[in-house]
Structure 1
Amino acid sequence: MQDHRNLTQSEIDQLEKNGCSCTDWGLVTVKEGFNPRYVRESHFSGKVEIGIFEKIFSLPGGLQKHAGINRAVIHNCTIGNNVMIENVQNYIANYTIGDNCFIQNIDVILVDGMTTFGNGVQVNVLNETGGREVHINDKLSAHFAYIYSLYRHRPKLVERMKAIIDYYCDKHSSDRGIIEHDCKIVNVGYIKNVRIGSFCKITGAMKLKNGSINSNEYDPVYIGRNVIAEDFIICSGSTIDGGSIISRCFIGQACHIDHGYSASDSLFFSNCQGENGEACALFAGPYTVTHHKSTLLIAGMFSFMNAGSGSNQSNHMYKLGPIHQGIIERGAKTTSNSYVLWPAKVGPFSLILGRHSQHADTSNLPFSYLVEKDNGTYIAPGVNLRSVGTIRDAKKWPERDRRKDPDRLDCINFNLLSPYTIQKVFAGVGILKNLQAVAGETSEFYTFQSCVITNSSLLRGLKLYEIIIHKFLGNSLIKRLEKTRFKSNEEIRQRLDPQGAPGLGEWVDVSGLIAPKSEIDDLLCKIESGEITKLKEINHIFQQLHQDYYDNEWTWAWDKIQSFYGIKADEITASDVISIVEKWKAAVIGLDEMIYSDAKKEFSLSFKTGFGADGNIQDRAMDFEYVRGAFDKNPFVIATLKHIEEKRALGDELIERIKNIQ
C-alpha cells in the first residue's frame, strides 16, 4: 500500500488559488489527510511528496504558527508530516525532510550530484603539507585517527584502514540529502550537500557546505550565528556558535566551538573546547581546551590539555616549510605566552612555562615543569605531582563529560595513574639515576636533551617518583584484595594471580584509550591481514579493551609489584602485603599533605592583594573570605582531608582483615 496518493483536481485548484504553481502536478503526491489550505505562494518541480499539516508550532514570545509551506520553491523533495517551511529565498532541492521540522527564512538548501556528506574528506593533520592525513567519517574515533595518522611506518596497515574508510564512504554516498525529524533551521544562508540529524537546531548560520551533522534525540547539535563550515563532520552534542569558521575539520561528541574560533585541517575529539583562538593541523584528543584570542595550536597532538593565553608553537624553521610536528602527551598545561618550537615531545601531566626551542623529548619525565631560564629549558621532574591543579584536573574531567549519546565514539580513560604513566615514572627514575651515575651525585647541574636539571630538582624528582610508584602499586593491590575474606596465604596468592589476562610489557595512550601495546599490535595485525574489514569491528575492539582495562592493569601492576618489592608470586604472604600497604599509606598521606600545602598557598596574604578596596588588612581578609571562602571550608580542601582519612581507613581495614593469617 502506497503512503502517498496523487492530488485531486479540487486540491490542485485550491493550491493554485493560494498562489502555488507546478511544472507537473502529476509528480506531486500527498498523504491522506493533506489539506491544501496550508500551502501558499510556493512552486513545485520534479517529484515531490508532501505529508499532512496538523501541528501548531509555539515560538518564543508566544507566537504560534501552523505547519505548512509558505513562499517556497521545492524541487525533488520528500516532506514529512507537520513540517513548517516558510520564506525560502531561492529553493530547496533533492532533500528528504523529516516530520516536525521547522524551516524558516533560508536562502538555499540543496544537494548537487553524488556526495558523501563530508565522509572521506582529507584532513592534513599534524603536517600541513600532508603525509599524516586522516580521512574523516561519521564513526571516526580518536583511537582510529591516532593510529591512522601516526603509524605511517606500517604502510600496509594505513592502506587497509583507508580501504575501510572508502567502503564506508561509498556505502553512505547519495544524490539526496536528509534533514531528519524535529530539526529547526531558521535565518540560515547557504546549505549544500549537508546531511542533518534529528533534533538539530541551526540558527543564523552563514554557510554549511559538504558535511554531516550527526545530531540525535539523545544529544542534539546546535549551530549558531554566522558560522561558516566547509568539508566537515559534526558529532552529537556539539555546539558551533559565535561566528566560528571551520574548514576540513572533524568535530567530535560534545565539543564546544565558539566566539569566533577558526580551525582548518583539524580533528577535535570528545569534550574539546575552542574559543576565540585558532587551530591549524591540530590533533585535539579528548578534553583539549583553548579559550583565548591570542592562542594558536598548530601541528600538535594534545589531550586533556589546557592552553594558556598566548600559547603558540612553530611548525617550520623557514627552511623546508611547515613540516615539523609536536606531541604533548595527556594532561599537559601551557601557561600564558608559552612557546614551543617543534619538533618536540612533552611527557604527560607536564606544565610548560615560557619559551622553549631545544626540541627536547621529555616523554619519560612525566609530571614535570618545563621552565624557561636564561634562554634555556630547565626541567623539574615530578614536581607537578604535588600540585593542587593536577589533582583538581583529574577530578574534573569525568565530571565534565558532557556526552549524552549512548553510542560513544571515544573510549576515554580518565585515570591520572595507570600503567602508561607509571611505566614512564619508572623510566624517569632510570634517567635521573643514570644522570647521577654519569655526572656524579654532587654535580650542581645535569644536562638532559639539551635541557638542564638542577641537583635539588633531580633529588626531589626521585623522591616524588618513588612516592607515586608506591601509591599506584598499593592502589592496585588493595583493589585486587578488597571485599574478600582470606583464611590463608595460599588464598591470597590465588586472588593475586592475574588469571592470564594480557597487560605485560609496554602500555600506550591511544588518544584517550589506555591499553597494552601488545593488544593494540594484535588489532593492527588483524587489520593488515584483512581479518578485520569494518569500522564497527575496530571500534568494538577499542570498547572491549576499554572495558577490560582494570583486569589488564592488574597483570602489569602485579608484575611490577614483584620486581619493585623483591617478592615472588608463589611466596608472598600476608605480612608482605601489610608491608606494601604501610608504604602505600605513607605515600598517599604524604602526597595529600603536599597537595594540601599547595592549596594553602592560594589563601596566603599575597593572594589577598587587591581585596578589601580602600580598607585595612582586616577588611582585605574579610573581603577575600566573602569572595573566595575560608580555607578550611573550601570544597577541595575538605575533599583532600577526607581523602586522607578514607585512604588511611582503607589501608587499616585490609591490614585488620589479613593480619592474623600465618
Structure 2
Amino acid sequence: MTPRRMPLNGLGYGFIPREFAAEGPDEYAQRNRQQLTAYAYRPLHEAEIERLIRNGNYSPNWADVWVTDAFLPEQIQQSKFYGFVRIGDMAAEYLDYRDLNLPTGIYNSVVVSCDIGGHTAIHNVRYLAHFIIGDEVMLFNINEMETSSNAKFGNGILKDGDPESGLIQLELCNENGGRAVLPFDGMQASDVYLWTRNRHDSVLQERFRAITFDRFDSRRGYYSVVGHRTVIKNSHIIKDVKIGTDAYIKGVNKLKNVTVNSIAGAFTQIGEGCELVNGIIGHGCRIFYGVKAVRFILSSFSQLKYGARLINSFLGDNSTISCCEVLNSLIFPAHEQHHNNSFLCASLVMGQSNMAAGATVGSNHNSRGADGEIVAGRGFWPGLCVSLKHSSRFASYTLIVKGDFMHELDIRLPFAMVSHDVPNDRLVILPAYWFLYNMYALMRNNTKFISRDRRTLKNQYFEYDVLAPDTVNEAFAALREMEAATGRACYPEGGDIEDWTRRGREILADNTIDLRGREILLDNVENSKRKVVLIKVREGYQAYRRMIEYYAATQLKWYFDRHSFAQLQAEHLSEGGGLKREEFENIGGQLIRKEDVGALMDDIRSGAINDWNAVHQRYHQLSDQYPARKFEHALASLLEIKGMNTSQLTQAFIRQLIEESVATKQWICTEIYKTRAKDYSNPYRRMVYENEQEMDAVVGRLEDNAFIRQQQAEYEQYNASVRAMV
C-alpha cells in the first residue's frame, strides 16, 4: 500500500470516513462528548495569529485554531497546526515532575485536530493527531501519537464497517482458541472464568458476546485520551489509547490499542522498552523494562517487569510476572512468577500461586495437538525445574518437587507434596504436607496476600485463607480416598469401595495399627502403569481432620463474637437432623456456592441480567453473603467430620470445641517457629557465615522475625478472647 497524495488544507479533517459519518451531527460530535474540561473557546485574534507566525508556527487555516481568553501566543513556538484545534487556559509557568521541568505551552510539535487541556506542556511531539489531552499534562520527546477513526482502545468489539476478522479476542486456557473471550475495560477474572468454562452452552456464550457488544458504541469517531496530570516522555509510538489521570509513561516503544486505567490514588506507570498491544491495564499497575504484552488484560495493582512476555492471557489483581513467558493462560489474583526460565502456557491457575525457576507448565511438545490444558487450584506451587504435561489437574496448594513429569496427572489431595521416587520408578504423594512440614510458608501466605491486596475498592471478597470451603471440601474428598486406599492395602483379597472405605477409616483411627510396612496406592492419578504411592498416610489423615475441626471452631468463634447461642439455635439448629455441606466454586478468586453460580448463569441466559455491571453487582451481593455462607459450610463440615446431627450441637460441646481450637492455634504457632528454626540450625546454611553474629546480621535474628512475632501475638489474642467468651 503506497501513500496517497492529498491537498494540504484537508489535513486534519474528515476523521470519520464519509460512509460511516452519522447523518446530522458534524464529525466532532463524539469528540465533543469526550471533553475532559469545559472551556469557553474563541477563534484567534488577528494580532495573536501574527505573533504565532513570528514564533515560527504554521497553519493552513488559523480560523480553526481556537483558544480561551487565557491564551499566551508567546508560549506556542515552532509548531504546526492542522484541522480543528482547541487549546485550553495558559499561564506563564512551568511544570515540574521528577526533575523534568517544562514550560507550559506547545513547542516544536505537529498538532492535528486535537483538544489540548489547560496548563499543559507539549514539547517535541513530532505528530499528535486526534487526541484529547487533559490539564497539566506533560508530553516530551514523542515520535508519534495518533488515532484511528475505528479505535477500540483494547476492547473486543467491532466498529461500523469493521470485518469480523478484526475482532480482538483473548485465546485463554487453550492454545486452539476454543475458550476465547472478548476483552473489555472493567473485565474481572470472574467474568473470564464463567465465559471460558461453559463452552458447551451456546445460549450463554451468545449472551456473553451480546452484552459485551452492548457495552460499547459501535459508531466511529472516538479520539484517544490522555487524562489530567499524566506524563509521557521519550517514547516512540502511541496509537489508539485511552489513558487515565496521573499516569507516568516513559521510554515506551509502542502502546497501541490499549486502555491504561489510572487515577491519583492508584496511578499506573509504564517504563522503558515496553511494547503493549491490544490490551487493558488496570489501576495502579507497574510495567517496566522491556515487557512485551499482546492481547492481554492486566488487572489492578499487578506488575510486569524485566522482559516479561504476556500473550493471549489474563493476569488477576495483585500479581507479579517478571522475566518469563506466559501464553494463553487465565490467572486468578495473587500470582507470583519471577524467573526468566519459567514458562506457563494454556493453563487455568486459580491464584495465590508461585512459579519457581525452571518450571515449565503447559509445554505440549510431546502431544499431538495444541489442545491440552492445565487446571490448578489456588496455592499451586510447581518447584524448581518442574516440567508438567498437558492435560493435568491439581488440587489446592499442591507442591511439586523438582523433576520431569512425563505423564498427565490428576492430583486430588490438597496441601500435598508430589515427587518422583526415581530408583523405584513410582510417583509419591505426601498428603497434608504443608501442615506437617512447612507451616511457616503456608500461613505466611495468608498474611502476605492480604497485605498485598491494594485494591482501593474491594468489591469482591477474594478468599486468601488456606482453610475455606473449597480446600475443606477437597480435604473431605482426600479423607475418603485415603480411607479406601488404606482399606484396600490392608484387605486386598476382596471387597468393594464402601467396605474398603469403612475398614480404612477404622484402621486410620487406630494408632496401634502399624502402617509402615504397607504400600498404600492411589488409582487414576497418573496416566501411566507405574505405582502412585501415599506416604505418611495416618499423619496426613489426622492433619486433615484436625484442620477441618479447627476451621469449624474458628468459624463458630467468629459467629459467637457477633451472635448468641440462642440465635444459633433459631437460625441453624431448629430444623434438627443435619446440614448439607455445600459445594463451592472458585470464580476468579471469589468462592461462590455452585447453586448460586447456576442461578447467576440462569439469569444471564434469560436476560434478567442484561449487562456486565449487573453481573458485577451480583458478585458484590454474593461477596456480602459469603461470610454467612462460609459459616454454614463450616457448621455442616463439623457435623460431618464428627458424625453428628444438629441436635447434638449443645452449647457445652461447642464451648469445648472452641477451647480445643486454642491448642490447635498454639500448635500452628509452634510449627511455624519450628519450620523457620530449621533454617537457622541447618549446618549447611550456617557454614557460609563466619559466626552466629554474622548470620544474624545478614538474615536477621530468629527471635526478631516479624511474621513469627505476629503469629504469636495472634495466638495470645485468640486465647484471651476464647477465655473471655467461655
Shared fold (TM-score greater than 0.5)?
Answer: yes
Contact 1:504 1:516 in 2 (8 A): no
Give CA deviations for 1:184-208 in whole Å, capped at 9, x if unaligned. Answer: 1111101111111111111010111
Matches within 5 A, 1:105-116: 105-116=141-152
How far does residue 318 in structure 1 lie from its aligned partner after superposition?
4.5
Q: Which amino acid aligns with 2:521?
A: Y
Alignment partners' CA distance in 1, 2:192 and 2:69: 48
- Contact 2:397-2:414 at 8 Å conserved across structures: yes
In structure 1, C-alpha distance between the alignment counterparts of 2:382 and 2:88, rounded to whole Å: 55
- Give me the whole-angstrom Cα distance separating, in 2, the residues matched to 1:172 and 1:532: 25
Instruction: Give the TM-score of the pair, scaled to structure 2.
Output: 0.84
Cα distance 1:194–1:55, how it changes in 2: closer, same or farther (>3 A)?
Answer: farther
Q: How does 1:438-453 map to 2 (within 5 A)?
A: 438-440=488-490, 442=515, 443-450=518-525
- 1:420 deviates by 1.3
Q: In the alignment, is residue 573 of structure 1 matched against residue 620 of structure 2?
A: no
What TM-score do the two structures reach when normalised by structure 1?
Answer: 0.92
Cα–Cα, structure 1 residues 95 and 498, in superposed 2: closer, same or farther, change >3 Å? farther
Amino acid at match of 1:478: K
Output the CA distance in 2 between the equivalents of 1:653 and 1:492. 19
* 2:385 is equivalent to residue 308 of structure 1: no
Q: Superposition RMSD on alpha carbons, in Å?
A: 2.3
Task: Describe how 1:482-501 pairs up with structure 2 within 5 A.
Answer: 482=561, 490=566, 493-494=569-570, 496=572
Query: Is 1:436 the equivalent of 2:486?
Result: yes
- Given the alignment of the two structures, is residue 549 of structure 1 paired with residue 549 of structure 2, yes or no? no
- State whether structure 2 residue 327 is matched by structure 1 residue 280: yes
Q: Match of 2:66?
A: 29
Shift in Å, 1:309: 0.6
How far, CA to CA, are the matches of 1:172 and 1:626 in structure 2?
A: 64
Equivalent of 1:458 in 521, 524, 537: 537
In structure 1, the partner of 2:75 is 38
User: CA distance change for structure 1 residues 30 and 503 in 2, over 3 Å: closer, same or farther?
Assistant: farther
> Which of 409, 433, 447 is matched with 1:360 structurally?
409
> Which range moves more in the overlay, 350-359 or 426-435?
350-359
Q: Secondary structure at the match of 1:297?
A: strand
More off after superposition, 515-524 vs 409-418: 409-418
When residues 174 and 145 of structure 1 are mapped into structure 2, their CA distance, relative to the original with a 3 A threshold, is farther
Query: Residue 616 of structure 1 corresponds to which residue in structure 2?
Result: none
Aligned equivalents of 1:224, 1:327: Cα separation in 2: 33
**Paired position in structure 2 for 1:396:** 448
* Matching residue of 1:660: none
**Matches of 2:117 and 2:330, distance apart in 1:** 39
| Distance in 2 of aligned mates of 1:10 and 1:484 | 77
Q: Distance in 2 between matches of 1:61 and 1:432?
A: 60
Contact 2:154-2:278 at 8 Å conserved across structures: yes
**C-alpha contact 2:460 2:623 (8 A) present in aligned 1:** no
Write the distance in 1 (CA, Å) between the matches of 2:225 and 2:132: 5
- CA 422–55 in structure 1, closer or farther in 2 if over 3 Å, else same: farther
Larger deviation, residues 375-384 vs 450-459: 450-459
Tell me the residue number matched to 1:3.
40
How far residue 218 of structure 1 moved from its aligned partner, in angstroms, is 2.0
Larger mean CA deviation between 306-315 and 603-612 belongs to 603-612
How far did residue 446 of structure 1 move?
1.0
Q: Is the CA contact (8 Å cut-off) linking 2:470 and 2:584 kept in structure 1?
A: yes
What are the equivalent positions in structure 2 for 1:240-639 lying under 5 Å apart?
240-302=287-349, 303-354=351-402, 355-362=404-411, 364-374=412-422, 376-386=426-436, 387=438, 388-404=440-456, 406=457, 411-440=461-490, 442=515, 443-450=518-525, 454=533, 456-482=535-561, 490=566, 493-494=569-570, 496=572, 505-570=582-647, 572-613=649-690, 620-639=691-710
**Alpha-carbon distance in structure 2 between the residues aligned to 1:71 and 1:629:** 55
- Does the CA contact (< 8 Å) of 1:14 and 1:36 recur in 2? yes
> Within 1, Cα distance between the matches of 2:60 and 2:547?
76
CA deviations over 1:251-299 (Å, ceiling 9, x no partner): 1101111111112111111011111111111212111111111111111
Q: AA paired with 2:60?
A: T
Check conservation: 2:170, 2:180, Cα contact below 8 A. Answer: yes
Determine if contact 1:20/1:41 at 8 Å carries over to the other structure. Answer: yes
Q: Which letter does structure 2 place at the counterpart of 1:126?
A: C
| C-alpha spacing 1:526/1:206, structure 2 compared with 1 (3 Å) | same
The structural deviation recorded for 1:641 is 3.3
The 3 A distance-change label for structure 1 pair 108 and 599 is: same
| Matched-pair contact (CA < 8 Å) for 2:244–2:262 | yes
Deviates more, 1:110-119 or 1:351-360: 351-360
* Aligned residue type for 2:604: I
Q: How many pairs were matched up? A: 640
In structure 1, what is the Cα distance between the partners aligned to 2:92 and 2:429? 65
What residue in structure 2 maps to residue 133 of structure 1? 180
Which has the larger displacement, 367-376 or 460-469? 367-376
Q: SS at the partner of 1:188?
A: strand
Question: One-letter code of the match for 1:626?
Answer: A
- Mapped contact 2:658–2:722 kept (Cα < 8 A): yes
Structure-2 change in CA distance of 1:337 and 1:63 (3 Å): closer
Distance 1:479 1:15, change over 3 A: same
- Tell me what 1:617 maps to: none
Distance 1:464 1:78 in 2: 65
Amino acid at match of 2:133: I
The 2-side partners of 1:503 and 1:539 are apart by: 28
Cα distance in structure 1, aligned partners of 2:711 and 2:99: 50
Contact persistence 2:686–2:695 (CA under 8 A): no
Contact 1:305-1:331 within 8 A present in 2 as well: yes
Contact 1:506–1:516 (Cα < 8 Å) also in 2: yes
CA gap of 1:77–1:456, structure 2 versus 1, over 3 A, is: closer
Instruction: Indicate whether 1:162 and 2:233 are aligned.
Output: no
Aligned counterpart for 2:51 among listed residues 5, 14, 19? 14
- AA aligned to 2:699 is R
Q: Matched residues in 1 for 2:68 and 2:384: separation? A: 61
For residue 544 of structure 1, report the CA deviation from its aligned partner.
1.6
Q: Distance in 2 between matches of 1:105 and 1:318?
A: 48
Matched, 1:80 2:117: yes
- In 2, the alpha carbon distance for the partners of 1:237 and 1:12 equals 42
1:179 matched to 2:265 = no
* 1:141-199 Cα deviation digits (max 9, x unpaired): 01001111112132211211111111124369643111111111111101111111111
Secondary structure of the equivalent of 1:229?
strand
Quick one: distance in 2 between partners of 1:581 and 1:203? 56
Q: Structure 1 residue 33: deviation in Å?
A: 1.7
Between stretches 292-301 and 587-596, larger displacement belongs to: 587-596
Aligned partners of 2:213, 2:104: CA distance in 1, in Å? 40
Measured after TM superposition, the shift of residue 25 of structure 1 is: 1.2
Aligned to 1:98: 134
Q: Give the superposition deviation at 1:595.
A: 3.0
User: Take 2:39 and 2:98, find their aligned partners in 1: how far apart are those partners?
Assistant: 40
8 Å CA contact 1:117–1:212 kept in 2: the answer is yes
Q: Alignment partner of 1:304: what SS?
A: coil
Change (3 A) 1:466 1:453: farther
- Does the 8 Å contact 1:492/1:574 carry over to 2? no
* Offset at residue 454 of structure 1 (A): 4.4
Distance 1:186 1:166, change over 3 A: same
Distance in 2 between residues matched to 1:83 and 1:46, nearest whole Å: 20
- The alpha-carbon deviation at position 62 of structure 1 amounts to 6.0
**C-alpha separation in 2, matches of 1:99 and 1:491:** 57
CA contact (8 A) 1:135 1:165 kept: yes
For 1:66 and 1:491, how far apart are their aligned partners in 2?
68
* SS of aligned partner of 1:123: coil
From the superposition, tell whether residues 504 and 244 of structure 1 become closer, same or farther in structure 2 (CA, over 3 Å): same
Question: C-alpha deviations, 1:318-357, integer Å up to 9, x for none?
Answer: 4532211101110121221111111111111121112323
Q: Residue type of the partner of 1:368?
A: A
Matched residue of 1:548: which SS? helix
* Offset, 1:562: 2.8
